[in-house]
Each structure stands twice: as structure tokens, then as C-alpha cells.
Chains A and B, each alone.
Chain A
Amino acid sequence: MTLDSNELPGSENPETGDEGVSEFLRDTSLFLAPDPLIMNNHGMEERTALEDRSLAAETDPARLEIVRERLLAGANESFDMLESMGAAPGAKWGDCVSAIFTASGDLSLASTGGVVIFCNLVQYPIKFINKYWTGEPTVGVREGDAFLVNDARYGQAHNTDQSMMMPVFWDGKLVAWVGATVHEGENGAIEPGGMPSMAEQVWDEGLKMSPFRVAENYTLRRDIVTFLQNSVREPKLQYADMKVKMFTCRRLEQRMHEAISEFGLEAVVACLRSNLEDTDVEVRKRLKEWPDGTVRHSWWTDGTLRENAMIKINLALTKKGDRLIFDYRGSSPEFTNRSNNSLDITLKGMLAQLFLTYIWPDLPRNQGVLAPIEFIFDERSILKPDFGTPNAQSMMSVFTSWSVAQVCVMKYLYSVPDKYTRVIAPWFNMINTFLFGGVTQHGEMVGNVCADINGMGGGALSDRDGQHSCAPIFATMADLGEQEFMEEEMPFVQLVSKKLMKDNQGFGRQRGGMGYQMILALRDSPVWGFMLTAIGSKFPNVPGLFGGYGCPTYPLCRISNVDVFETMQSDPSQFRFSIEELMNERPFPEGKYSTHPMFMPYSLAERGELYMIAQGTGGGFGDPLERDPEEVMRDFHEDLVSEDVAWRIYRVVFDPETRIVDEDATRLARDEARAERLAQSMSFDDYCAEFVTEKPPAHLPYYGSWEDPAMVYAGSPDRYYPAGQVNPPVIMPNPLEVKIARLERELAEARRG
């Protein structure tokens, strides 16, 4: 069995002019790190000779469409397998995907369900394998092999995901790849569950699998599986899901073989390639329909998951002809010892999801959608960190960057006559859910994340409210799951489970879809802990659109020194079924009530103490003073807004008993509110003179550009550098040491009297 290396663009020798040196350097490398030539190219590879031949031979679009539908049916079938057989919670709620790639590694066809970003990123490890392992005598690529990867730097969204890739051979030649990815959760990191906020180095992030072969002749190697099981907290999960992914790939490989047998190799290859090229052409056509220009938007994240900070994401989005350029320069510098940095490939993958779900959902799910799009980042920024910088919590920066892009794109779309879906305010974007780890009531060691991650509220539209807790920004048809199943397997109980939270609303003429609250307590485990890895307790995660409000901020609330299960037996009347009542009424006399940022490192839990958070709302659309008072009354009747909000935000005057609106009084109140606004208004120049400062305030730990995107701050007004040249790099102190130092200082001051 041989490979035709000329047909793999990634494996061509660079023309250096000195053949001997090139070969020496190639053969004498210490370590095969991710290859910049691969990682910096999110577009399509050049056509191979086989693709050229196939496209010349197969010119009937109708026939290619039949082939495509056949392959898509195979991808969907394998996705169903993955969801059904997967043991990871992520697989069960749709946090997985299967896909077909060209021989060169380009994502050509993803399953209809599942997470596009996952498979979009698998192009990179496939290209790495093509380039480095194909000709490597100790590795090679053969029929029946399967490769595994989880290290985000080689091409994953984050290290908690694991992707398996299988080559598809025909007549001894590599003709395609298939892949399956699952958000596995546990990966042996410094904290359980696979997304460690405590990681200060990449080596704290758990398994670091560069693309490597784990199966030969369609059989997993037991020695490798054992090594991986030995490296994580959930050996059962590691084993079961490697098997699941391999059989999923194998099924998809089988469908590829059947399609080739039926339609011929050239038809299948032409189909895969034309999928990409057709999408590229179509995207360029659609971009031409947008007005030329530049739209700018900035937003901030409010923490690193270890400490509070104002971290800027800056975007200038330029559209010219059929080009679209995302310029993220001026965003925060990287945090060298924090996990909230995102790789640029992760953001690109997420933006593929933005286009394929929120802008052009009719387009086929492949990477051709990004081919006409360009990206610019500062080196060593939070969106393009160094190789050694942790990124396990990339979502903390990538989701905000995604929302900033969503706002910019919506501003373009508003003016485009031919839309392929609706203009929408930002979807909520944060993973407001608990991670957990410990020993279950069945004696199993586990570490993973709750499905509540999927309950993000939808943004509002111009003529209707957003959808309550509907879907995560990165997937469609994801599942919140059923609490009864969760309790069967896990030792904690949600006493309030996904109950919509009053006033948790992105206000607007149309309001955002609301988020729910969760109140949970450990009940039955010898050792158990929770962690929380979200931001947005001080600065909201998403803005509104065209005058609508963004989401509120959300804290973590805790009540300790209480066993709620005992209280429910002895005096059940003490318990309240909302965070608001529990925290404001403080019904447990001995309880200790506290609020925290939405990040909490893994902490052991006591039986019966309460952990409480809320999911977020999508952004509102338009001015709340224009909201139909009857819509406000509907929300009031549904206990979604309080009387206070109905008045203070929406200025609706009504009888709370009958919910009858006093229309004249409401009109008057709204006119007065508008008059107050006008009274407070000032000219742009006056505004700048009064509010705009040269530098960020000294008390604020501020990161990113202030006015000039070419210059960034690195935590204080006196740390000001050209973007990409922050030196010394941002290294944060251990919050525990900061706390000890503060206490020692206070102690010393107290001793001094």
C-alpha cells in the first residue's frame, strides 16, 4: 500500500535552493510542534491532481448532489451513533460531531447535527498527520489506523475535547479522512472536568495528545488505552469513548467505501472538493451584497477565572468587495499564567459557527465558508497566545470575541436586502454551569460538567422576543437533559432546576430570552467538589442591539453551614425556591450567606450546603420604552418581571391585581422618561471632554487598547506597550498569595495599632 505524496500539498518539500540543508533540518528536528504553515491557513488547500482529474471528469451537478446527499446520510448516521453510544455527558447532549475531510484535510462535510467548530478544527491535526506521519517510518498512515488528538494547539477547541481521525483508502491510496469529536470532560488536568481554571502552565491542563496513532487494523492498542486511562480520573469514560469514536469513524469510512463503489472514486472526490469550492463562491457572492465599510465594536471580559480584571476584545470588521476582514488588533495581551487565552484557530472555528448558524444557516457545513474571510491578530495577544501559554479556558475570551463579531455582522446585515435568516441581538455566551468531580453514590470516580451549559438565552429580534434558555452559542438542538437521569448517576440534587429567574432579562422593545436559576446541593457522596468557570459577575457578558439592554451581571451565591436536607425534614417551611428569596430572606438562622464571582476553583462540598447560579439572558432589541405594555403585562403575569422592573425599565403604569394598563399614564410616564433623557444629553464633543480620559483609571486592572489599537495596557496605566510587544509579559500573582499578603498587611497594621 503506498501513498502518492504528490497529491498531498502539505507534504511537498519547500524549495530552499539547498536541498541538503533542507533535508538535514527536516530529519534532525527535536520536536514536531504544530506547524505554522498549517496552523495559519484556515482556507482551503490547493487542489490535488486527483481533485483536478475528478472535477474535470464529473461535471454533472445533479449527480454530485446525489453523491453529497449519500455522504451526508452517512455522516448523520455516524453522528447518531456517536450521540447514542457516547458515555461522556457532552455526547449525550449533542456536544459532538462527525465529519468527512478531503485527503488534504479540509473539512468538506459535517453531520447536520453537532458542533461545527469541533470538526472545523480537526483539519489541522489531519494536515499535521499528512505532513509528518505519512512518510515517517516509525509511524506511517495505513488503512485501519486511527489517530487521536486533544491538544488544542494542534487543532481542538480546548483540551477537554478529543478527536479521532481515520484515513480512508481506496485501491491503496489515501482519498479522504473521516473524524469524530466529543467534548469528553475529564482529562487528568489539575482540576476535574477537563476545563481547569487553575492551570498556570500548559502542563496543568491534563492530557496533551498531539496527533498520534491509537489503533491499527481497526483495533485500539490496549497499551495506549491503558496509558491514557491511567492519566485521567475517569478511566471508564476514556476507554468507552475511544471505542465509540473508533466505531463511529469506521462506520463513516464504510459509507465512503460504499459511495466510491457505487459512484466511482472521481465522483466522491469531486463531490468533496466541489462542496468546498461551491461554498467559497457562494460566500463571495453574498459578501458582495453587503455594503462596503468598516464597523467597530469592543467589549470586555471581567476576569481571568482567578481574579477580576477588565480584558478588552477589540474588533474592526471591514467589508470590501467580496472580502471580509476581522481585525482583532488592540485586544488584550495574553495572560502568560492563566487559562483564559484563546488560540486564533479556536476563534476562527467559532466564527464558522457564527456564519453557519446565525447568518447563512442554509449553507452546507464545511470550511469553505471561511475561505474568503481574513483575520488579523496581534501576536502574543489573548487571541493569539504563545505556544507555551495555557488555553484550557479559551471560552472566556473566544465567546466574547464571537459576540463582538455578532454585533458587527448584524450591523451589516441590517442594511442587506437579501437575508438568509433574521437580524438578532447577541445570544448569551457564557458557560454558567457547574463542573464537578468526586465519587458518586455508586462508587465511581467522575469529573465532568452539567448540561445546563446548553441553556443560554437567545437574543431578541426586531419583532419578537428572544427564546428563553434555548441553546448554547456553539450548537443547535443541544439538550438540557432531564434532572431525573442526572440524579440517578450523580450524588447531587438540583432543588431548583432550570426555573426561569424573574427580572433576569435583556430589556428592550423586544426582550432577550431569559435564563434560568439553579440551586443545588450535594446529598450522597464520600467526597465531592464543585467548580465554576464563568465570567460576567461584574461586567455583563453580552450587549443588546439598537438600544436594547445587554444581559445583567450574575454572581455565584452560596449558603454554607447548613444541611438543607435535614432542614427539609425538620422544618421544610424554611426552604425557599428562588435565589432571590433565599439570599434576601436568609431563612436558615445558622447559615452563612455569601456571593462570589462566577469563577470558583474546585472546592470540596459539604452535604446540604447550597450553590446557586443563574443562566444568562440574550440581548434586547430596541428601546425598552417602545415595548408594547401588553407584552410587559404578559411577562408580569408569567412572573418573569417584577412590578419594579415594569415601572423602572418599561415605564408601564398598571394595576398589579388586574394587570390592566393605564394607557394614558403609561404614555405620559414614557414621555417624561424621554424628556429626562433629552435633558441629560450633550454634544459628542462635550461628552468626550467630560468622560473620555487619556488612560484607563489607575484602580482598574485594565488589559488591551484604550484608544489607539496599536498600543495596549497590561494591567495598569504605567504598563503601556506596542501591541504584541508586552514585556515583561503579563504574569499574574497567585490570588492566594495576594490574599495572604493583604491579610499580613492588615495584621501588621493592626499590630501597629
Chain B
Amino acid sequence: MMERVSVDIGGTFTDCFLVWGDQYVSAKALTTHQNLALGFNAALGQAIGQLDLSLEQVMGEVDSVRYATTLGTNALIERRGPTIGVITTAGFESSVPLSRGRGYGEGLPDRFRKDLPMAQRPEPIVPIPLIAGVRERLSEKGEVIMALDKEDVRSQVRKLVDRGAQAFVVSLVNSVVNPAHELRVEELIRSEYPEHMLGSAPIILAHLVAGRKGEYARTSSAIVDAFLHKAMYLGLSTLELNLRDNGHERPMQVVHNSGGMAQLNSTDALQTLHSGPVAGIGASEHLAAETDLGNVVCSDMGGTSFDIGLVVEGGVKFYDFNPVIDRWMVNIPMVHLVTLGAGGGSVARYDRLRRTVAVGPESAGSDPGPACYDKGGRDVTVTDADLILGYLEPDNYAGGQIALSEKRATSLFQRNIGKPLDIDAVAAAKLVKQKVDNDMANGIAQELRARGYEPANFTLLAYGGNGALHACGIADAIGIKKVLVPPFSAIFSAVGAGNMDQLHIHERSVYLQIYDSVTRALLSDFDGFNAIVEQLEERGRQDLVRQGYAEDEIEHRLELDMRYGNQLAQTAVVVGQNRITRNRELLELIALFGRDYGKRFGEGSQAPEAGIRINTVRVASFVRAPKLAFSKVLPDPETLRPAPEPEVRKFCHFIGRDEPTDTGFYRLDSLSPGHVVEGPAVVISESTTFLVEPGWRLSVGEYGAGWLERQDIIGEAE
């Protein structure tokens, strides 16, 4: 019997998901930044209360407690961290301040990237005076061009200490192929400032944080890691201590942005960033597999942003190799995630050029928030449009916590948009809904098509506070005909944390020509290649054995980033076989790469004639953990039956209909699995609102899941 607790600690709420045998319950509490354990205990207390269990019983019996958290991202945005001194190769001191030139626009919407007079790099985490170059240099193969000057190192370290460094990042050029100089610098720092001394500063070696080449992104990764190290350690170790105090003896598990989890003692701070949204994608993957949904595009629409992730059949993994955290490019492999500036709070305005409306990326946030919050906000938002169109209940929004003013929303809509376009507020609100749905749909389409997939072959998984409200509109815009609002959609990342495997990823940059187009020769040094794989597997194995797993439980997945000629494109190929011993296997690898590449860029676009290279060897080492059962999430077709008549009917406005339409309003808790609601309809739960648009129907599944289908395909099926 599975007993498990998983938690997603966000900036505002701590979400908790408790599995107790075949019972699944969720709870929410405010995040308590001063002591995360308090918020956790409150959320867990609520969950336990639903099952009439005691804290000691739950803590003593659960197999694991798992955390996903966005705390690191918040700490980064709020600049809460130590003063860091960076030691780099002399001559490369400006790599970080210059951020590859493009750093001015990383993490910003296109509108700001296109505007060079407004270009401004973010306030640096490490200012220029805290970056010191040391005399040394390694070649691209790791040969010593210039030996490390130890006296220079000591002198530079002293300078950084004098300038207030509380932590060190050591990031030397080409250290991923030969870390000797970085290790020596660490020894020298420790010899000057021994670890047992009070005030001893932590030292982060860049090659241990990121194993790939790219001196800027690697240094940036190490800086972010060092900056968050202490805050994350303190925050998470407090939680671990809290667990022990409450009787949970096992090590706490922390969700990683690589799509797995590990104990706290095997986790870098950098690996925890964006782990909440990544956990949501992990949950989607599991849900898709359990319910045979096939390809799934996950979408999380909240108040300010819209996150998109992909899950496709066949185990293909999508990574961001250079993800941007806040405004900083790093180079760790992170599960691919795209964030658009579209949410309920996105500001709508008149677009003079187009004679229509534009939406976002600016957000009204929660204070003053949308106009309808009546807190002084003068910008109109997507939420105001949803209210004007009749989809939201003014007295029952967010579980009744926020009263909405339809009058204010209408008045400002009329002034900001209706007047310049010479239309009424309802027509303006329709334009806004249409625009934001299309923007999000285009974001999804671009993500899928850039990887060779068609939206029509996907199911949209819609979660987050506004996901169920806009899902039909988004799907309609790009030809998606099936939408699943998953169970526990308001705490879906916490659900995802409950499904993770133990996983560690190790990777290494290589320059391996497996087909050299100049000499027309195939790779022959199989032993060299296999030795690299073995080395990476060994590192993963050690990580897992250290955490108490038996060697025979450990599996390894080999992934190779490959490219033709001198391209930038790196296609991550998941290789079935972890060793190459003969040419036939090499040719199979080339064919596999060709298939993946052709799918992404078009059949025939492959260019093996230009040569084929492996750039990165990556090994994911993991131990499979038992998964949650979600098979009943989709309603059983045999049990489908019309929902009872709604208690309330109202007139709502829909795109494509000139007149308001009589629309039934349901309470989700009054419906049961198998109930079918034909659109147009609105179904309200504590945490979200389902908008079943005309042409769609909703079937209710287990745990509050909603299965939305276009009525025309239901007809086809029948």
C-alpha cells in the first residue's frame, strides 16, 4: 500500500498532496517564508484532517516526503544571497558582465528584446570588482597551456575576501575536460581559509555544477548555484529537521528540474529551480501513460504566466540545454518548459496600429490586480473580460475570497478599449478573450511544430487557476479536440512531485566525430566512447548507492546530443544500447539520429554528408519508484450520463455568437464521475472554473478531473 506526502512550496501557497493507500487528498496553506516547516505543517495538517489520521502516524509510515519548490527562483528575484567572489581564467574576467551580449534580453518578452535603446542588463549577482582572473590556461583538450600560478591565486583570493566575498565560485576555461586547475584553486583557498574556521566560505567548482562546455553559461550556472546555496540549504534542512521531529526517519526527497528527485545531500541549489513546473510535466507524463492519452501538451495558466511543456509517446525527452532562470542563462539540462506572458492578470489595451486589441505581457499582478478587483487598478485584464462575458461569479471568485466588481470592469473596458474601437464592452471583452486564447494557442503550436509535431495530434492538459477557463478557446484555435483538466489541477505540481523517480544526470562535453566527412571515416575508437559512458554511469551509480539504493535497482539511460557538420542544433537522441562495440551499432545510431532529426526539421533535411558529431554524452541514472494510480481519471464510457439540471442559468457571451446565450452553471461538487455537461456551460469548483464552450462537452472524472471533447469528434466516434 502506497503512503506518501508530496509538497510544492510556492511563493504564496504551500500545496500538499497526501496518498494514503487508495485515498488521495490535497490541501493548501500559506507559505511561511521565515520557517517553511510551519506552512508545510499547516498544509499537511489540513490533509491529515480530511482522513482522520494523526501526524505521528502519517510521518512514521509514509515511504517518502517529496518537495518541489520555487523558493530558489524567488530568492534569485529578490536577490537574497551571499556576496560571491568569482575566480576565473585571466583574460576572461568580463565574460560574466557581458553575458554573451544578449544577456540584456534574456528572460524578457520579445518586445523588450527588440528595443536596443531600452536594453539594460539586470543588476549583476556578482559585480565586476568581485571577479578576479588568475594566471592559468588550459587548451580545448585539457592540455596545460599556462600552468596555474599559485601565488597569483592566493593574491586574488585575498583581494576578493577583502572586498567582502562570502562564497567562492571557481570557473576556469576548459575545466570540464580537465578540472585539475579548479581543484587546485579549491585546495589553495582551503589552505588559506580552512574549513573548520568560523566564516569559512563555501567553494563551488563550476565543472561540478555543469559538465558542458561554454565558459559563460557554466560560470553563470555556478554563480546562481552559489548564490542560492545557503538559503536553499537552510530552508530545506529546516524542513528535514521538522520531518525528523515529527517522526519521519527517512531522508527528505527534493525534486530536480531534470525531471527526477534526490536526497537533500545529493542536490545542488540550481537543480531545484523551476522544479515545481517540471513536476507538473512529470505528472502529466505519468497521467498520459496511465490513461493512454498519447501525446500531451501540458499548460499551466495562472495569474501572470502561461507555462507550456511537452510529453510525447516513445520516451523522447525534451531538454533546455541553456535554460534561462530569471534573467540568467545557465547550462544544466532542464526539462523543456516555455513561459509566455499570458494569464488572468495580463493587461489588455487598444492597438492603434492594428485597430484591435493587444494583450500582455504586462500583468496587473495581484495588487492592484484586474480592474474588477476594485483595488484601484485602471488597466483592464483577461479576468475582467471573463467577468464581463459572464463566465465568473462576482460573489464566488477564488472560493469567495475576492469580490469582483462587474461595473468597474465594464466601465474601464468601455473607456480603454471600447471607445477607441467604437464598440461596447462586451464586444471588446470578446476581442480580448479571442486574442489571449490565440496567443496561447500560437505559443503551443510553435513549440510543437518546432519539434515536428502537429497540435491536432495532441491532447491539451490544462491546469493552473485559469487553465480550465480558457482551455476550449485555446484548443479551438489550433485544432486540438481533446482537453483534460487533470485531477487536483490546482495543486498539480505537488501531485507530480509524488510521482518522481530517483534520478541523477551526469554529462560531459566531447568532440567525437562519428563520421568524418573529410577523411570519410567512421568512428573506430569504441573503447574511448564506452569509457566515457562508463565513467558517467559510475558517477550516477555512486550518487544512488550513497542514498541507500542497491546496485541492481539502478538503471541508466544514455542520451547523446548529436549534430551534422558544424551546426548549432543538438538533437538529444535516447540510445537504446549503452555501449557501441561494432560498426553496425554505430550505423544504427546514425539512423536513429537521422530519424529524430528528420521528424523535427523535415524528412530529407538530414545532412550526414557534412559529417556527424556527438557533442555531449549524458547519462541519466535512476531507480524506479512505485507510481500513483490514475487509471480512473477518465470517466468510464459505460457510466456516462447527463448531469442533473443546473441550479442556476445565466446569459453568457461567446465568440462567434452575436446574442448572449443561455448557459447552465454547475457546482463541481454536485456532479459525480460519469456526469456529462453539454456546452455552453460553466462548472465551478473551489479552485477553478471550467468553461465548456459551445461545441464542447465535459465528462466528469475521478478526483475532480474534467474530460472535455469537441462534440463533432464525439459524433465521429459514435
Interface code B23-61, partner A: CB below 8 Å = 1, 0 otherwise?
000000000000000000000000000000000000000
Complex contacts, A471 vs chain B, CB 8 Å:
101-102, 104, 116, 119
Taking the nearest CB of chain B, how far is it from the CB of A2, in angstroms? Answer: 28
| Contact partners of B438 in chain A: CB under 8 A | 66, 69-70
| Beta-carbon contact of A427 and B116 below 8 Å | yes
Q: Would you call A572 and B135 a contact (CB within 8 A)? A: yes
A85→B565 CA distance, assembly (Å)? 10
Identify which of residues 429-448 in chain B touch chain A, using a CB-to-CB cut-off of 8 Å: 431, 434-435, 438-439, 442-443, 445-446
Binds A, one of B67-75, B139-147, B398-406, B641-649: B139-147
Q: Is there contact, CB below 8 Å, between A572 and B146? A: yes
Stretch in B353-361, B363-371, B573-581, B628-636 touching the partner:
B353-361
- Our pick among A83, A443, A640 for the contact of B518 (Cβ within 8 Å) is A443
The stretch from A189-197, A497-505, A737-745 touching chain B is A497-505
B165 at the interface (CB under 8 A from A): no
Q: Are B91 and A83 in contact (CB under 8 A)?
A: no
Closest to B610 in A: A240
A577 to B134, CA, bound (A): 10
Residue among B213, B565, B601 making CB contact with A488, cutoff 8 Å: B213
A240-B610, A443-B518, A484-B174 in contact; A77/B449 too (CB < 8 A)?
A: yes
> Which of chain A's residues have a CB closer than 8 A to the CB of B92?
483, 497-499
Task: Tell me the minimal C-beta distance from B225 to chain A in angstroms.
Answer: 18
Contact with B along A447-467 (1 / 0, CB 8 A): 000000011001101001001
- How does the 8 Å CB contact mask read for A350-372 relative to B, with 1 for contact and 0 for none? 00000011100111100000000
Whether B435 pairs with A65 at a CB distance below 8 angstroms is yes
**A17-25, A472-480, A661-669 - the one binding chain B:** A472-480
Tell me if A482 counts as interface (CB < 8 A to partner B): yes
Asked whether A481 is an interface residue with its Cβ less than 8 Å from the other chain, the reply is yes
The verdict on B316 contacting chain A, using a C-beta distance below 8 Å, is no
Task: Type the 1/0 row for B94-124, where 1 means its CB is closer than 8 Å to any CB of A.
Answer: 1101101110110000110111111111000
* Pair B568/A92 contact, Cβ less than 8 Å: yes
- Asked whether A357 lies within 8 Å of B568 as measured between CB atoms, the reply is no
Q: Give every chain A residue within 8 A of B214 (Cβ-Cβ).
A: 482, 484-485
- With A483-B173, A483-B215, A487-B139 already in contact, the answer to whether A467 and B104 are too (CB < 8 A) is yes
Q: Which residue of chain B has its CB nearest to the CB of A362?
A: B111
Q: B611 contacts the other chain (Cβ, under 8 Å)? A: yes
User: Taking the complex as formed, is B133 at the interface, i.e. its CB lies under 8 A from any CB of chain A?
Assistant: yes
Residues from chain A with Cβ under 8 Å of B354 in the complex = 61, 64-65, 68, 278
* A239: Cβ under 8 A from any B Cβ: yes
**B442 x A65 contact (CB < 8 A):** no
Cβ of A112 to closest chain B Cβ, rounded Å? 5
Q: B115 to chain A: which residues have CB within 8 Å?
A: 357, 361-362, 421, 476
Is A26 an interface residue when CB atoms closer than 8 A count as contact?
A: no
Q: Are A499 and B216 in contact (CB under 8 A)?
A: no
Count the A-B residue pairs with Cβ separation under 8 angstroms: how many? Answer: 252
B568-A91 in contact (CB<8A): yes
A-side contacts of B601, CB under 8 Å: 81, 85, 247, 251
Contacts of A476 in B (CB 8 A): 105, 113-116
- Report the minimal beta-carbon distance from A291 to chain B, rounded to whole angstroms: 20
- CB-defined contacts of B213 to chain A, threshold 8 Å: 482, 484-485, 488
B525 proximal to A (CB < 8 A):
no
Closest to A489 in B: B566
What is the minimal beta-carbon distance from B425 to any residue of chain A, in angstroms?
15
Known: A65-B356, A443-B519. Contact between A470 and B133, CB under 8 A?
no
Nearest-Cβ distance from residue A369 to partner chain B, whole angstroms = 11
Set B90, B100, B129, B146: member contacting A638, Cβ < 8 A: B129
Does A70 contact B111, Cβ atoms closer than 8 Å? no
Q: Judge whether B137 and A495 touch: CB under 8 Å.
A: yes
| B551 contacts the other chain (CB 8 A) | no
Within the complex, what minimum Cβ distance (angstroms) separates B95 from chain A?
6
Q: How far is the CB of A262 from chain B (nearest CB, A)?
A: 8
- B357 and A477 form a contact (CB under 8 A): no
Kindly state whether residue A565 has any CB partner on chain B within 8 Å.
Answer: yes
Is A87 on the interface with B (CB-CB < 8 A)?
yes
The answer to whether B101 touches A470, judged by C-beta atoms less than 8 angstroms apart, is yes
CB pair A487–B356 under 8 Å, yes or no, is: no
Task: Kindly supply a per-residue 1/0 record for chain B positions 238-249, scoring 1 wherever the CB is within 8 Å of any chain A CB and 0 otherwise.
Answer: 000000000000
Q: Are B567's CB and A80's CB within 8 A?
A: no
Bound-complex Cα distance A361 to B95 (A): 28
Is B98 touching A498 in the complex (CB atoms < 8 A)?
Answer: yes
> Chain B interface residue count: which class?
35 or more
Tell me if A432 is interfacial: C-beta within 8 Å of chain B: no
Residues of chain B lying within 8 A (CB to CB) of residue A500: 93-94, 97-98, 128
A77 proximity list for chain B (CB < 8 A): 446, 449-450
> Which B residues are in CB contact (< 8 Å) with A362?
111, 115
CA distance A468 to B119 in the complex (A): 11
Asked whether any CB of chain A lies closer than 8 Å to the CB of B605, the reply is yes
> Which of A250, A493, A573 is in CB contact (< 8 Å) with B602?
A250
Does B564 sit within 8 A of A, measured CB to CB? yes
Size bracket, chain A contacts: 35 or more
Contact between chains at A69 and B442 (CB < 8 Å): yes
Question: What residues of A have a CB within 8 angstroms of the CB of B569 in the complex?
Answer: 84-85
A91 to B353, alpha carbons, bound, how many Å?
32
B353 touches A638 (CB 8 A): no
Q: Mark B556-574, 1 if CB is under 8 A from A, else 0.
A: 0000000011111100000
Question: Of the candidates B91, B353, B442, which one forms a contact with A70 in the assembled complex, judged by CB atoms under 8 Å apart?
Answer: B442
* Contact of A488 with B511 at beta-carbon distance under 8 Å, contacts A61-B356, A455-B101 already known: yes
Contact B101 A454 (CB under 8 A): yes
For residue A730, CB closer than 8 A to chain B, the reply is no
In the assembled complex, how far is the CB of residue A658 from the closest CB belonging to chain B, in whole angstroms?
13
CA gap between A498 and B94 in the complex, in Å: 6
Decide yes or no whether A86 CB sits under 8 A from chain B. yes
A575 near B: Cβ within 8 Å? yes
* Contacting residue for B128 out of A91, A282, A470, A639, CB 8 A: A639
Complex contacts, A427 vs chain B, CB 8 Å: 116
Q: Which residues of B contact A255 (CB under 8 A)?
A: 449
Give the one of B133, B449, B511 with max A CB within 10 A: B449
| Shortest distance from the beta carbon of A432 to any chain B beta carbon, whole Å | 14
Beyond A443-B519, A484-B213, whether A363 also contacts B94 by CB under 8 A is no
Asked whether B222 is an interface residue with its Cβ less than 8 Å from the other chain, the reply is no
Interchain CB contact under 8 A, B114 and A361: yes
User: A248 CA to B114 CA in the complex, in Å?
Assistant: 22
B146 and A568: CB pair below 8 A? yes
Contact with A along B588-605 (1 / 0, CB 8 A): 000000000000011011
Known contacts being A278-B354, A572-B146, is A243 close to B104, with CB within 8 Å? no
| Interface pair A461/B117, CB less than 8 Å apart | yes
Residues of B within 8 A of A363 (CB): 353
Q: Which residues of A contact B357 (CB under 8 A)?
A: 62
The interface centre, meaning the residue of A94, A356, A423, A467 with most chain B CB atoms within 10 A of its CB, is: A467
Bound complex: CA A422 to CA B114 (Å):
13
- Which B residues are in CB contact (< 8 Å) with A113? 113
Do the beta carbons of B135 and A481 come within 8 Å of each other?
Answer: no
Knowing A62-B431, A361-B116, A497-B91, the reply to whether A240 touches B564 (Cβ < 8 A) is yes
| 16 examples of A-B residue contacts, CB within 8 angstroms | A77-B450, A85-B569, A87-B567, A240-B566, A243-B607, A361-B115, A469-B101, A471-B119, A476-B114, A479-B101, A482-B215, A487-B174, A488-B213, A565-B145, A577-B90, A640-B128
Which 9 A-B pairs give the minimum distances between C-beta atoms? A496-B91, A84-B569, A361-B115, A638-B128, A487-B140, A247-B605, A482-B214, A424-B117, A568-B146
Given contact pairs A237-B566, A247-B604, A480-B101, a sample of 7 additional A-B residue pairs in the complex whose CB atoms are under 8 Å apart: A66-B438, A77-B446, A92-B568, A240-B564, A361-B115, A480-B98, A484-B213
Q: State the A residues within 8 Å of B (CB).
A: 61-62, 64-66, 68-70, 72-74, 76-77, 80-81, 83-87, 91-92, 94, 112-113, 218-219, 236-237, 239-240, 243-244, 247, 250-251, 255, 278-279, 282, 356-358, 361-364, 421-424, 427, 442-444, 454-455, 458-459, 461, 464, 467-471, 476-485, 487-489, 493-500, 516, 519, 523, 565, 568-569, 572-573, 575, 577, 637-640
